[in-house]
A and B are shown apart, each in its own frame.
Chain A
Amino acid sequence: MNMTDTPKDNTGAKLGMWLFLFTELLLFGGLFLLYAVYRSEYSEDFHFAAGGLDIALGTLNTVILLTSSLFMAVSVAGVQKGDRKIALMSLSLTIALGIFFIANKYFEWSAKIRHGIYPGSEHLSGLPAGENIFYGLYYVMTGLHVFHVFAGVILLVVMMIMLKKNVIHAGDSARFENAGLYWHLVDIIWLFLFPLLYLIT
């Protein structure tokens, strides 16, 4: 009702987004808490289990997400400076890299499942308890994360449509900047997941 007669409060919109990102961090925080407890309880099992993860694929995905964050930042700068061509191009690259990440994750998971490593599998229940827990955390943490990547890609596609329709422009870019913040958050969470899961061998 009062959307039209009062000027938009961009600082308020940003504040709201930062608060939301805070809740996302706490959502993952619960999982990091579990990780910390179980890693101190089963440090040796975690060490062996992590050796089974594909470091090359993990590194590739890290590079992909970091690059996508760069393009996202370029795209936001493009919108703010009124350069729609740069903004659209970088945004498309961000989205493409996001999809690339999801595809990689798909191949990584299916390879694991083909080897009989999934929650409740016979192979996994034959291993020591700590390795079972490690893979449980691996699936839950990367699963929740890839869900966020997926949501991020959809969000960015919506942003792209709004950008094309000129709903988002240099004078009204808070929504776009917020979408960018969300994408960076997804990236940052991965930057913690990657070493904690892949690099502890």
Chain B
Amino acid sequence: MNPNYLNAERGIKSWLFTTDHKRIGVLYLAAMLIFFGSGVVLGLLMRLELIAPGKTIMEAQTYNALFTLHGVIMIFLFIIPGIPAVFGNFFLPILLGAKDVAFPRLNLLSWWCYIAGGVLALVSLFAGSGAIDTGWTFYVPYSIRTGTNVTLGLSAAFIIGWSSILTGLNFITTIHRMKAPGMTWFRLPLFTWALYATSWIQLLATPVLGITLLLVIAERYFGIGLFDPAKGGDPLLFQHMFWIYSHPAVYIMIIPGMGVISEIIPVFAHKKIFGYKAIAFSSLAIAFVGYLVWGHHMFTSGMSNTARIIFSFLTFLVAVPSGIKVFNWVATLYKGSIDLSVPLLYALSFIFLFSIGGLTGLLNAALAVDVHIHDTYFIVGHFHYTMFGGAGFIFFGALHYWFPKMFGKMYNQGAAKLAWLFLIAGFNVLYFPMYVLGWQGLPRRYYDYLPEFHNLQLISTIGSWILAVGLILMFANLLKALLKGPSAGSNPWGGLTLEWQIPSPPPVENFEQIPVISRGPYDYNS
């Protein structure tokens, strides 16, 4: 048996100090699943608290800490780095026909930053003066005044931010400089295009968040007053600077997922993708328009009407490139020879759930409606449908699609489909009631609520249990495959992109010889 990247070297050190992009991808995956697990547990505890009105299992302050940490972990440690750090690292060089990323050591540094930040975030839960209770948005002036571990949490987010910037920088350079001979821009797999758009957002938006978080830390230690109204500062400026990053960041979360869908759909429809260029450019269009819409998080903050109307209008524009993608995916499926395997099930769930999340996003974008539903469960429902139903589900989809390549083992299809059924059923039972609750006016971020909301809250909590069963089933199935699954072969799905042309798991250097590319990535018909 030829040595592959998994067995070429042994020992913990050969992993922790590796510069192999595939091993770094696996390191991210392992760490991320631990953080994701912690985030899920926090979420389940919150749902349990909300099973009945009044105090159920925790105090209000504990609940505040839980929703803050749930947000910080899920956003900064799971969904933002998620697909780029795991599958981007593993597959980007292979898809380009390269042996590694442009800066392998920088890549390792990114992972270490990620781990350092993640550990700090978890430590802030237990150490010092109590877990952060500001919400993941760290809004001033409360984040300046609260006595909890805000500094630790901000530092964690700052360090993870550098991990994100360095990964983006690495990917852009890799895509520009490491394409195999004959790999032109329009022969790039669409996942690569998505990573390219994402990397630019990571690079251009994250520094603004970095300086904002540093300013809050400085504010806490030195009382400079830049965000403190008592000293002439303007807290609204914090919100602007925060969302200048954090709105583009939601596209960091979703665009790579859309890229994965564009890989999965042609493979399982055995058909050339419809509208290659439109999909490629719509990723860049989303990245660009995404910069101009941050104000829609602040419709009730006291901005001028002119600003609110412009931000509202620009927000509607995001629906255009997103719609282009959905139409192209559906058009690719049309008259395809569809193989309804597990990865495609996840891709289809993405389209379904993300459409619900996206269309309710338009309700939020409508200024008058948003004033009514601002800061209610409607928003919580909306971003869970887009982030978890969208990016989260396609993370699982990507995992099922590339698992055979990454580890060379095949999982049980029946069990995987059963897990998927639990996940999608649990997901909808958990989050759909939130739309209704929000529409009825239930505000978010409270551990208590009025009795008339009880039924829907109860249903939602039951949904969280169904979802948890699905997650356990899914991971148990994959773990079993990892330990004693049958060999997957090099190309179980019949894919045409480069990763399917090399053995599973891939050899250390990916390719014996750098390939020469002479056709597009999805030429099923020719």
Contact = CB atoms under 8 A, between A and B. Distances in A.
Interface string B234-248: 100100010000000
A2 B100 contact: yes
Interface range for B: 35 or more
A44 to B, nearest CB: 13
A119 B169 contact: no
Given A15-B173, A19-B172, A139-B224, A132 B208 contact: no
Nearest to B508: A1
A120 B218 CA distance: 12
Interface string A108-130: 00000000000110000100111
Interface stretch (B58-66, B209-217, B330-338, B369-377): B209-217
B165 to A, nearest CB: 5
Contacts of B226: 34, 38, 133, 136-137, 140
B203 A42 contact: no
B340 interface: no
Interface in B158-217: 165, 169-170, 172-173, 176-178, 203-204, 206-208, 210-212, 214-215
Contacts of A23: 165, 169, 203-204, 206-207
Interface string A17-44: 0011011101111110110011001100
A1 B208 contact: no
A129 B173 contact: no
Contacts of A133: 225-226, 231-233
B223 A120 contact: yes
Given A20-B169, A129-B231, A129-B232, A12 B211 contact: no
A34 B237 contact: yes
Nearest to B211: A30
A195 interface: no
Interface of B is mostly: helix
B290 to A, nearest CB: 16
A130 B232 contact: yes
Interface residues of A, number: 39
B19 interface: yes
Contacts of B508: 1
Interface in B84-108: 99-100, 102-104, 106
B509 A16 contact: no
Contact of B176 (A12, A33, A137, A139): A12
Contacts, number: 108
Contact of B231 (A2, A12, A125): A125
Given A2-B509, A37-B237, A120-B223, A16 B99 contact: no
Given A1-B19, A16-B103, A133-B232, A22 B203 contact: yes
B262 to A, nearest CB: 25
A139 B508 CA distance: 50
A193 to B, nearest CB: 14
Contacts of A144: 211, 214
Interface in B416-449: none
B263 interface: no
A19 B509 contact: no
Contacts of A140: 215, 218, 224, 226
Contacts of B177: 9, 11-12, 15
Given A16-B173, A23-B203, A33-B241, A136 B224 contact: yes
B20 interface: yes
A2 B20 CA distance: 9
A186 to B, nearest CB: 16
A166 B27 CA distance: 36
A19 B170 CA distance: 9
Nearest to A41: B234
B170 A119 contact: no
A27 B211 CA distance: 6
Contacts of B224: 119-120, 136, 139-140
A24 B207 contact: yes
A16 B212 contact: no
B508 to A, nearest CB: 7
Contact of A6 (B99, B176, B206): B99
A2 B211 CA distance: 36
A25 to B, nearest CB: 8
Contacts of B237: 34, 37
A179 B357 CA distance: 46
Nearest to B18: A1
B158 to A, nearest CB: 11
A52 to B, nearest CB: 17
24 contacts: A1-B20, A2-B100, A6-B99, A12-B173, A12-B177, A16-B170, A23-B203, A26-B204, A26-B207, A26-B208, A30-B211, A30-B212, A30-B215, A34-B226, A38-B234, A120-B223, A125-B231, A128-B232, A129-B231, A132-B225, A132-B232, A133-B225, A139-B224, A140-B224
CB-CB nearest 10 A-B residue pairs: A129-B232, A30-B211, A26-B207, A136-B224, A12-B177, A120-B223, A27-B207, A119-B222, A119-B224, A23-B207
Interface of B: 19-20, 99-100, 102-104, 106, 165, 169-170, 172-173, 176-178, 203-204, 206-208, 210-212, 214-215, 218, 222-226, 231-234, 237, 241, 508-509
Given A23-B204, A38-B226, 13 more contacts: A2-B509, A11-B177, A15-B173, A16-B169, A19-B169, A20-B169, A27-B208, A41-B234, A119-B224, A132-B225, A136-B226, A139-B222, A140-B218
